[in-house]
Structure 1
Amino acid sequence: MDAKIIDPKEGKADSAIIMLHGLGSDGSDFEHFREELAACGAPVEQARLILPTAPERAITANKGFLMRGWFDLLDTDGVGASDEPALVESARIAERLIALEETKGIRRDRIFLGGFSQGGCVALYTALKLDRPIGGIFCLSGYLPIESADDIEHVGQGILSPIFLTYGKEDNDVPPVYPEISVKELRKLGATDLWSKGYDGVGHDLCIEEVTDLSDFLEKSLEASR
């Protein structure tokens, strides 16, 4: 797996953040993510930042052009029906990255998995597949890429992880209805520690208020694990 790993500037890592990029991007988009979170108050100076890059694949919603993506989008509007085999494959990559951090001495309750847009979709989907909870799962401008909670035969204990889901209310790429439905579906699937918020005037992008709220989420989760 192609992944950039950014260790703390000094000392030993005491936590880990696995950040999955969006469609057509790569891991380098979030090279400064730890510093941005720390500037907003998150106690992540000693967090190891793991930035995997998705493989190239033909994206149906983009006329079959090759792009770096965690799964294919089968609907022409760019959301909705998804490529389940690739979703499963990407979730397994996320699971392996979590397991690798455990082998490096990072406790599971101090490991966070998140992503932006399509990366956030994978993070939420992985919550259904994990056999045990982790420190937290966050999805920024994404959604849960399933048709219905009723179609899921088995949900792992990862759904009990703290979950943070945010979106822009003016997002034309991932319309707000998708994350709003996702919140309902996640609760049906067993999520009990779920925080969600939409941001006025924000499109398919991150705003400072959103990063601040994520920082608060990480701080709360890290404090609970001490």
Structure 2
Amino acid sequence: MAVATAANLKTVILNPLRRHSASVIFLHGSGDTAEGVLGWIRSLVQDDFRIPHVKTIFPTAPARRYTPAGGALSTVWYDRTRIAPNVPELLETIDPVCEQLGRLIDDEVARGIPKNRIVIGGFSMGGGMAMHLAYRFHHDVAGVFALSSFLNQDSVVYKVVSSKPSLPPLFACQGLRDPLVLSDWSKETVKQLSDCGVGCEFHTFPELYHEMNAKELHMLTDWIKKRVPSES
């Protein structure tokens, strides 16, 4: 069941099975919801994504007019003129939601989870939002993941990370048959972040379209366990 938070975002939470010592914030893709992406994950890996000491938070994006959908209301993290890397970022739609999501991080810190025990990521637009959130505003988190995601060619993220001495690593995956987020876009994102000093782990899947699969979710789970290992 979704619950409201101080960030004014509805969330679905996978509570840890033992003492809570780390948190993951997983952002869905455009037009999806917290319940939708969690149901998708469970259909692929059942409960294997549940890490015993980790609380996983799935927020739902606020509904807003979305230009690529003809201006219809949609649950998206930000607006864009079209789905392509060679268009300007609409920071006036990105930054307010970064502030809202930042309150989720603050809530976890208030519960005793330090930022270096928090991982932020997502699928598609959710991964793009996670890169903005972490690399621009919360670069002391434990790690960032982006599944089938990209940043714009002139993204402000690249300008910010080039001046940061310490940056969280990125785990990225991309389907080579993806017709919506082209593999060249995610490859270029990883290359530019790597050139700016971000440690990147990048995996491609030859038969994967714009979707997640069980293999990448198991790989992501293993990576999260390495970034925020159990303290017991």
- Quote the residue 1:79 is aligned against: 84
Partner of 2:173, secondary structure, is strand
Deviations 1:159-213 (A, max 9, x none): 611211111100001011110110122123331x211111111000011111121
Matched, 1:67 2:79: no
How far the C-alpha of 1:95 sits from its partner, in A, is: 2.1
How far the C-alpha of 1:73 sits from its partner, in A, is: 2.0
The 10-residue stretch of structure 1 (117-126 or 88-97) with the greater mean CA deviation from structure 2: 88-97
Matched, 1:30 2:37: yes
- Share of identical aligned residues, percent? 25
1:195 to 201, 212, 216: 201
Q: Conserved in 2, the CA contact under 8 Å of 1:149 and 1:189? A: no
Segments of structure 1 that go 5 or more residues without pairing to the other structure are none
Partner Cα distance (1:197, 1:221) in 2: 17
Counterpart residue type for residue 209 of structure 1: K
Counterpart residue type for residue 48 of structure 2: A
Partner Cα distance (1:130, 1:181) in 2: 22
Please show how residues 14-163 of structure 1 align to structure 2 within 5 Å.
14-31=21-38, 33=41, 36=45, 39=48, 44-75=51-82, 78-80=83-85, 81=87, 82-145=89-152, 147-148=154-155, 152=159, 157=164, 160-163=167-170
Partner Cα distance (2:132, 2:157) in 1: 14
Partner Cα distance (2:176, 2:142) in 1: 27
- Quote the residue 1:165 is aligned against: 172
Partner of 1:98, secondary structure, is helix
Counterpart residue type for residue 173 of structure 2: T
1:215 to 210, 215, 221: 221
Partner of 1:99, secondary structure, is helix
Segments of structure 2 that go 5 or more residues without pairing to the other structure are 1-7
How far the C-alpha of 1:93 sits from its partner, in A, is: 2.4
How far the C-alpha of 1:9 sits from its partner, in A, is: 5.8
Partner of 1:23, secondary structure, is coil
Partner Cα distance (2:165, 2:38) in 1: 26
Deviations 1:99-157 (A, max 9, x none): 21011011222111111110110011123213542111101111124525697267675
Q: Conserved in 2, the CA contact under 8 Å of 1:23 and 1:67? A: yes
TM-score (normalizing by structure 1): 0.85
- Quote the residue 2:3 is aligned against: none
Partner Cα distance (1:56, 1:74) in 2: 17
User: Number of residue pairs matched?
Assistant: 221
Q: Conserved in 1, the CA contact under 8 Å of 2:27 and 2:126? A: yes
Partner Cα distance (1:65, 1:158) in 2: 41
Partner of 1:128, secondary structure, is helix
